[in-house]
Amino acid sequence: MKKNLILKNFFIYFSALIVFLIMFFPLYGLILTSIQPENIIRSRNLSFFPTEIIFTHFAEVLKPNHISNIYEGIKNSLIVSFLTSFLCIILAFPASYSLARLNLPAKNIILGTLISIYFLPTILFVIPLFVILVSYQLDDTILSLVVPYTAFTLPFVIWILKSFIDKLPVEVEEAAKIDGCSTLQLLIHIIFPLLRPGLIAAFIFAFILSWVEFLTPLIFTNNLKISTVALGLFRSTIDIKIGQQAAAAIITLIPVTILMIFFQQYITKVVLSGSDK
Amino acid sequence: MTDLLNQPSNSQFKFSREKILAFTLILPSLILVFITYLYPAIFTFVISFAEYDIIRLKIKKFIQFKNFEFLISNYFFTSSVLRTIYFGFLICVCTTILSFLIALLLNEKFIGKAFLRVMIVLPWAVPSVVSGVLWGQMFHADTGFLNALLYQLGVISGYKIWLADPLVALHVIAIAEIWKAIPFMTLFFLSGLQSLPSEVFEAAAVDGANVFQRFSNILFPLMLPIAIPLFLIQFVLAMKSFDTIFVLTRGGPGGGTTTLNYFIYQEAFETFNLGRASAAAYVLLIITLAVVLIPTISRFLIKFFWGNK
């Protein structure tokens, strides 16, 4: 029995190591490439550890007139992602309350439609949106990114917030209603503070989804006046400097990675709360 | 909506006021969704039967089913449809199996589990452009780790240009997609595993069922209701993938990595044939719906013919 346990433990740690290597090695390779001089990257000597660490790739990429324009991209992406997440929360908070607690007609149909929209091919909606934006000369604006992003993310955010509201105790709301609280007051003074973890999780979700969006800015900002960070990174793939490309990729990655590591608990909670019904 | 406006009776008035309030709260979201989804979907449907003038932004003329006829007789289109289905199937099979195994691992107790979980969730937040760049560098002909590793191990005699072979390139894209898809599905499987009653397994172990019997007779059937929807969702998402293809191969070489989604993009925004692109987009929509609906319909039929399961 004891020998069995040791064998089992060995097996667990061994597979944990394999999983770690598979999931993390690609990222590690990227980091390695970003901090090594170009001649070492291009040499045929395989080494999994840095022999010479430099940060010139990062410095080059962050220069204002670099081909990837990553500096401008970060600024635009931050603005667009913040606006999107903010708009999403403002729209989704009342909507999810309505879906979770109020006597809304055809509730299940609305919820089902919202969620299934997320899985439909995005390109189906992008073609006419492009035509509309061009005909009103709204392409290449922040608006042309924020509105579609918000719409693409909204169903997901509503679903997250609804599953959080479902978990709140109804008694608090009932007590407040007996005390003469209107629904609006209830939403602002009672539900909003109680829902804080859910709101944070939803905000992060929306932020990450907008940060990684690629197809929409690729099509809607065709003159490249407004470049997002993902587009900037893509443009660096045209260049041949591998080190700078890796550095640009890391810079793109940093904000979302920090969010992920700090709020991993919240995000796990979202998934766990959604599936146990 | 109309019937609740025509209700004069006092007792029902309060009831309908709540309905109106509920509707008002959700209305802004519904309007946004209508503007960005429903209206465009109708628009796409209309122009899929027309020739669209991209310069004047007007419908030139309606040509009935010509767009669809053109697509069906087009080799690039039909091959990209088959490729899309293969690509989607490959990704969701691999992702489901790997995620399930990783979830089984994370369900055990070991030191460093929390750390490993963070590492596994991380690829989800990696923008797909970054994942494209990352795997592109991994498989890069001159500087890629894979070439270097295989060369040093003596598996290959010279450096290979992986992405120049359409079939290899398609699978490289699939690897990138699988790597990015694993985190989310693993979390769902993990939550499913944690909600299982542990008594069943203990009872089975006491009764002398070995690991494989416990897996095939208890764990597998219990996890199937979670696995099937995840599998289908992944199928649909894989058919939607665009960014990785765009960054890694741009549909090439020789159209060998053009999935239907990418084909539509090329028709719409490279050759600016919006009518054809819209028709192709509806074909993709039908395939997507079929993937989602076939299991539902077959379950209904099974229930209908063989009674309640």
pLDDT tens by residue, B26-56? 888 888 888 888 888 888 888 888 888 777 7
Mean pLDDT of the A167-183 span: 82
CA distance A206 to A89: 9
Return the amino acid letter for A239. D
* Both structure tokens of A98: 């309505």
CA distance A88 to A79: 14
Burial class (CB in 10 A: 0-12, 13-18, 19+), A167: middle
Return the pLDDT at A102.
82
In this prediction, residue B174 has a pLDDT band, given cuts at 50, 70 and 90, of very high
Q: What is the pLDDT of residues B108-147, one digit of tens each?
A: 888 888 888 888 888 888 888 888 888 888 888 777 788 8
**Whether this model's pTM surpasses 0.90:** no
Q: What is the pLDDT of residues A35-59, one digit of tens each?
A: 888 777 777 666 777 777 778 778 7
Q: Taking each helix axis from N to C terminus, what angle separates B220-240 and B75-106, rounded to the nearest 10 degrees? A: 140
Q: If you measure CA to CA, which chain B residue comes closest to A238?
A: B247
**B83, B222: one domain:** yes
CA distance A131 to A128: 5
Percent helix, percent strand, percent coil in chain B, to nearest 5: 75, 5, 20
Q: What is the pLDDT of residues B236-249, one digit of tens each?
A: 888 888 888 988 88
CATH number (1.10.1740.10, 1.20.950.20, 1.10.3720.10, 1.25.40.10) of A55-275 reads 1.10.3720.10
DSSP B212: H
- Inter-chain contact A218–B246, Cβ cutoff 8 Å? yes
- Inter-chain contact B127–A211, Cβ cutoff 8 Å? yes
Instruction: Give yes or no for residue A275 having a pLDDT over 70.
Output: no
Q: What is the pLDDT of residues B95-107, one digit of tens each?
A: 999 999 999 898 8
Mutation site for A-interface testing, chosen from B60, B126, B131 by largest number of A Cβ within 10 Å: B126
Does B59 fall in a domain?
A: no
Nearest CA to B246 among B166, B132, B90, B135?
Answer: B132
- Inter-chain contact A12–B192, Cβ cutoff 8 Å? no
**B218, B257: one domain:** yes
Instruction: Give yes or no for residue B4 having a pLDDT over 70.
Output: no
Return the pLDDT at A87.
93
Q: Show the domain range for B184.
A: 73-306
Burial class (CB in 10 A: 0-12, 13-18, 19+), A86: middle
Q: How high is the mean pLDDT of chain B?
A: 82
Return the pLDDT at A85.
93
Q: What is the ipTM of this complex?
A: 0.83
Return the pLDDT at A75.
84
Return the pLDDT at B5.
47
Mean pLDDT highest for which of A210-219, A223-232, B203-212, B260-269?
A: B260-269
Q: List chain A domain ranges.
A: 1-54, 55-275
Higher pLDDT, A46 or B203: B203
Instruction: Give yes or no for residue A222 having a pLDDT over 70.
Output: no
Give the CATH number, domain containing residue B277. Answer: 1.10.3720.10
Partners of residue A276 in chain B, C-beta under 8 Å = 191, 195
* Both structure tokens of A12: 């667990």
- Inter-chain contact B127–A214, Cβ cutoff 8 Å? yes
Mean pLDDT of the A159-168 span: 85
Does B60 fall in a domain?
A: no
Does B61 fall in a domain?
A: no
Mean pLDDT of the A8-31 span: 87
How far is A44 from chain B, CA to nearest CA, in Å?
A: 7
Return the pLDDT at A276.
41
